[in-house]
Structure 1
Amino acid sequence: MERQRAITLRFLAEPTDVNFGGKVHGGAVMKWIDLAAYACAAGWSGQYCITVYAGGIRFVKPVKVGSLVEVTAKVIYTGRTSMHIGIDVQACDPKTREFVLTTHCIVIMVAVDDDGQPAAVPEWVPATPADIELHSSAIRLMEMRKKIGAEMEAHLHL
């Protein structure tokens, strides 16, 4: 089976996605991110996958209702059972097709077997300079998340 490392989902932002300010609300964008991350991780691993982390979500520009939206997801690191997925969300007026970045983040997905236990995933090995930098960045972000996780322990008992 050929592994699919990246996927782009495309759709129109609907009026039901609007917030009180008249733009697409962040929750809708986060749902799109999760859908793309799942499709990417399942395509790479060939297995059912679950989201275990979504972080560094940066809302750069608002998405307008009626916009054509592209959510691109790409494997940037693999562990034994996990896949780090880089996500970019872009939007444009469908008449012009001039896309602008609206949101980006990293999502970590874990492949699971039929019993819901973590399952091994194929290794992704970066080959291009751009992919090597993405891979290195994912490793640096892992180290930062460990430190943030330790700090967050204080908030578990509020």
Structure 2
Amino acid sequence: MKKNKREVTLRFLAEPGDVNFGGKVHGGAVMKWIDLAAYACAAGWSGKYCITAYAGGIRFVHPIHVGSLVEVTGKVIYTGTSSMHIAIDVQASDPKELENILTTHCIVIMVAVDENGKPAKVEEWIPKTEEDINLRESAIRLMNMRQQISEEMEAHVKLMK
């Protein structure tokens, strides 16, 4: 994969080992797939080893059945100095029909690191289309909301002590 590739899609079949007690794919398995796709996307953009700093807003909107063809797509929607905000969509389909259904979506923030584990600079992603501009603006709004939530949680923790 060449550096500065903005999007990646992982494709595979959901296996029996991924099943939960209800007979569907376990949410933890889906979260692992999300992390793998976020890493592949961030590493492809930055050309560096990347670590997960945040995963949030995970919405499980449709179950995945064992045997489904799963597609996990990660796309860079915002870059900071060393961070990359990756939008993740998980879709699944019966492999005989190939009609994808959105099953899960979220945002993952990955940080590029150097050989000493310190944050490393990444190239800025500049949106060109109206859709990309909207995605970047959404990432910025979410970043501001996370800051407000973080401040509120800190105040809450202080009250609990």
Q: Is the 8 A contact 2:3 2:44 kept in 1?
A: no
Where 1:10 maps in the other structure, the secondary structure is strand
Report the count of equivalent residues.
158
Distance 2:81 2:67 in 1: 40
Give TM-score, length-normalised by structure 2: 0.95
Partner of 1:33: 34
Q: 1:3: Cα distance to partner? A: 1.4
Partner of 1:149: 150
Distance 1:9 1:102 in 2: 15
Question: What letter corresponds to residue 139 of structure 1 in structure 2?
Answer: I
Partner of 1:71: 72
Give TM-score, length-normalised by structure 1: 0.97
Where 2:105 maps in the other structure, the secondary structure is strand
Distance 1:67 1:16 in 2: 13
Gaps of 5+ in 1: none
Where 1:50 maps in the other structure, the secondary structure is strand
Distance 1:10 1:125 in 2: 27
Identity of counterpart residues, as a percentage?
73
**Cα deviation digits, residues 100-135 of structure 1 (max 9, x gap):** 000000000000000000000000000000000000
Gaps of 5+ in 2: none
| C-alpha RMSD over aligned residues | 1.2
